[in-house]
Structure formats: structure tokens, C-alpha cells
Amino acid sequence: MAALVTGGASGIGAAIAARLRDGGARVAVLDRDPAGAPAGTLPVKADVTSDEAIRNGVAEAVAEFGVLHTVVGNAGIGAIGTVEDNSDEEWLRVLDVNVLGLVRTARAALPHLRAAAAERPGSVSITHTCSIAATAGLPQRAAYSASKGAVLSLTLAMAADHVRDGIRVNCVNPGTVDTPWVGRLLGQAADPAAERAALEARQPTGRLVSADEVAAAVAYLASPAAAAVTGTALAVDGGMQGL
């Protein structure tokens, strides 16, 4: 199997890339800062806000692997604030990375995925890293939540558009995951330990999700075991949404 993971040089994306690699896949890590790409993967420097950079990055991966079966659109950024706090520029930046980044990645990859699906039906997929913010109202996350709501709808629309091509499209909805991103957020809090405790308490399991637990869900969605699974959002959120 050959895979490409955007934002695969840190946190959830790095865990996904490592897990797919450990499962025997050749993995390209497309990241604006690919230095942290896991060993044994192909680091590709590209910013998902550039259509040209993504096209070149996907072409580089396909030139190396000769084929592409799995795309994981994971690169994303956050924004803190209510609708009164964030400027239009901040909104557009979040939507550009979190939503259009996935559109550009899919546009570049789909011709290759279509070709692969003709050879290996059921084994070709796109998986997006969405968020529980798509379905739960979280305070101080207006732009981020709106972007992830768009990711959920985009996932469903793409699943419908490409099901007849043999390409499955799904997303994972993580709760709060212990990654460098969350570490940065906690670092900015007045009382980081209290903030971490509040995040842990928000999830019924009483702890943060690990990046590898999200990676396991993505690996399943990308595997032939999920051949009947498309147009779904798999929550990995410690029960936050359902309980």
C-alpha cells in the first residue's frame, strides 16, 4: 500500500504516518515543516494553502511509489475566540488550511486514487482528520468549529461523489488529543495544570485521547477491513459526544 499524510510531521499526523508505515505501507509525509516526519517515511515539504505545492508534493510521492492508495488529509490549525474576537483574515486563514487544504489535496490525488481503485477495489480511500468540534458546541472555537463542520460535510459530499470510482471517503472526529498543539495551548493558559484537568474532565473517560488511538482509527478506515465503510465520521473522543 502507498499512502500520503498531510500534516504528518507532528502529533496525530505523525502517529498516523508511523502506524501506516508499521502496517507495511510506503508513506509520504506532506508538511509545511517536514523535519518531524517519522523515520522510514518520505518527507515532502509543501504547504496545503498552495495548490501548486500540493500538486508537486503528490507528484513526488507518486513518482517515488508508482501508485497511491490512501490519502489522509490531516493538516490543520486552530483559532481561539468567539465571532467577536476573530478578524476576517483569521477566519479565512483557518478555512484556507482546514477546508481548502483538503480540497486541494483531494484534487491532486484523485486521478491517482481512481487508477489504483481500478486495480484494488475496497482498498482505496481518503480519510480526513475532522474534530468533535464539528458536532459539539465548544466555547471559544467559532472559526475552528465552523471549519470542522465544513470538513464533515465535505467528507460526506466527497463520499457520494467518488463511491462509484471505488474510492471511500471518511473522517475521524477526535476529542482532545495529547499532541504538541494541545501542549502549546496549555502553555498559554494562566494555570496549565488546571486547564489540562478541565480538558480531561470534559471527556467521560477522564483522560485525553492519545495520537496513536486516533491513528488506529484512521488505519482501520484505510484498510480493506473497512471496504464497506464510506461517508462516516468515527468519533475517537473518550465518549465526549455520545455520553
| Binding region for ligand NAI (CB under 6 A) | 7, 9-13, 31-33, 47-49, 74-77, 97, 129, 131, 174, 176-177, 179-182
Measured in whole angstroms, the distance separating CA 71 from the mean position of its chain's CA atoms is 10
**What cell does 233 get?**
465520521
Cβ nearer to ligand NAI, comparing 117 with 126: 126
Angle among Cα 229, 230, 231 to the nearest 5 degrees reads 135
Taking the complex as a whole, the smallest distance from the CB of residue 120 to ligand NAI amounts, in Å, to: 27
For the question of residue 144 being annotated catalytic, the response is yes
Residue from 30, 31, 144, 209 carrying the catalytic annotation: 144
Segments of 57-133 assigned E as strands? 70-73, 125-129
Cβ nearer to ligand NAI, comparing 34 with 166: 34
**Gap between the Cα atoms of 167 and 73, Å rounded:** 14
What count of other Cβ atoms lies within 10 Å of the Cβ of residue 236?
20
Cβ nearer to ligand NAI, comparing 98 with 123: 98
Taking the complex as a whole, the smallest distance from the CB of residue 129 to ligand NAI amounts, in Å, to: 4
Taking the complex as a whole, the smallest distance from the CB of residue 100 to ligand NAI amounts, in Å, to: 10
3-state secondary structure at position 97:
helix
Cβ nearer to ligand NAI, comparing 46 with 116: 46
Place of cell 498543539: 181
The residue type of 115 is A
Taking the complex as a whole, the smallest distance from the CB of residue 92 to ligand NAI amounts, in Å, to: 13
The torsion defined by the Cα of 206, 212, 29 and 45, in degrees rounded to 10, comes to 30
Question: Catalytic residue positions?
Answer: 144
